[in-house]
Structure 1
């Protein structure tokens, strides 16, 4: 089960007559928010539900998403451990002699899939902005931290109102660009992720600010995953919460984590025009 890495590899196996895939990008200019973990679990959940999925890693230098899929692909090659694996690509930005935007465009336009899921890098770049211009839905994980929140709004001006900061401005620009080019809207989910078990005054205050921002910036606020050891344990095996043989003890935490994943999937599917299926 070999992971495909270039657009030419992919184009040799799929026709170019289908450009109707629903494109989701997991994005935040700050690292460490759990983008790759969420992206991997969403991809595998969609596969288990019977959707056709193409995944793309444009955080090619770090490559967490790709290494997860490589680990999973090796597992899938063993007859006793058949697990679904998407057609996957890794694009390294600023590769000499390669037009990475064109590479991404070819993959998305010829996907022939129900969903294309893109894992973005924790920084700004031309490729990152271009990927957002192709997306139908942006999913932005954010931790309950003022450091994370500072990319959305200028906290120094909070007493004078909410002024969008660099990341929120970039999303807004892509919304306008997409609307002017195609007349289509860009949906935006902000996911409170890696939540701690015990609520704190800090997390409550961040939640209050995010609820106000949702109205001003035009996103929907949803919950993601709580901070759990199981996510660190699953990486090396390439497994997810939905695989039957995880190699870790199953308990109430495992069950709760699966419920969190289903809730996130339902939020994503409700934003798309793809027919809903049971997860």
Structure 2
């Protein structure tokens, strides 16, 4: 019962969008998915209300004991996906404790990578206690289509202790437009579906490899 979280104390990097779309892509593969909204802003819960529960189960756990609560729930699902809080607090610490894989979405800017240092420190502190768990990786998100990623973003990521996903998630109107209607971009945008499916394939390979 793998637990995947999307965590970054900086807002506007697409955590909720990614959480919803990765959950949907996993569901379309036949998995039973639980999406946990740990952010007090409750963007994923808001989407679920508009969607009228037509997709997968979404619950809110905006509290520091999220790891204990998920421990009780995860046996009932194939995957648990957590939409992380947007501020450095005990919610993020609990989310990291609950996770097998932490995905850190960042905009394609060195400044955005540097801004994750507090979160990175939380993860590495946890890894020191557990012998390397959870594993974490950066994901370049909200990238402008057709823009070549700068050498500066590559250098900033190379200085971090985690690998970076190969797939880049681009800024597309299909994501917010679909979510505002209680849908996902997977139903309305071929390009968005290809990106999310590619990311999910990377995530699945991570777990298939026994990490």
Judge same fold: TM > 0.5, yes or no: yes
Q: Does 1:177 align with 2:114?
A: no
What do the CA deviations read for 1:80-117 (whole angstroms, capped 9, x no partner)? xxxxx222211234xxxxxx50x552333332211111
Distance 1:106 1:149 in 2: 30
1:186-201 equivalence runs, <5 A? 186-199=134-147
8 Å CA contact 1:58–1:118 kept in 2: the answer is: yes
Distance 2:69 2:119 in 1: 26
8 Å CA contact 1:63–1:90 kept in 2: the answer is: yes
Distance 1:190 1:92 in 2: 23
1:256-275 equivalence runs, <5 A? 256-273=191-208
User: Under a length normalisation based on structure 2, what TM-score does the superposition of the two structures give?
Assistant: 0.89
Distance 2:45 2:157 in 1: 33
1:99-138 equivalence runs, <5 A? 100-101=64-65, 104-111=67-74, 112-138=76-102
What's 2:49 paired with? 70
Q: Secondary structure at the match of 1:227?
A: coil
8 Å CA contact 2:3–2:99 kept in 1: the answer is: yes
User: Under a length normalisation based on structure 1, what TM-score does the superposition of the two structures give?
Assistant: 0.69
CA gap 1:274/1:219 in 2 versus in 1, 3 angstroms:
closer
CA gap 1:108/1:273 in 2 versus in 1, 3 angstroms:
farther
CA gap 1:144/1:86 in 2 versus in 1, 3 angstroms:
same
Aligned-residue offset at 1:223: 2.5
Task: Report which stretch shifted further, 122-131 or 40-49.
Answer: 122-131
Gaps of 5+ in 1: 1-20, 77-84, 94-99, 153-164, 247-253
Distance 1:169 1:53 in 2: 29
Aligned-residue offset at 1:205: 2.5
1:208 to 151, 154, 163: 154
Aligned-residue offset at 1:206: 3.4
Aligned-residue offset at 1:55: 1.1
Aligned-residue offset at 1:210: 4.2
8 Å CA contact 1:108–1:116 kept in 2: the answer is: no
Aligned-residue offset at 1:274: 9.1
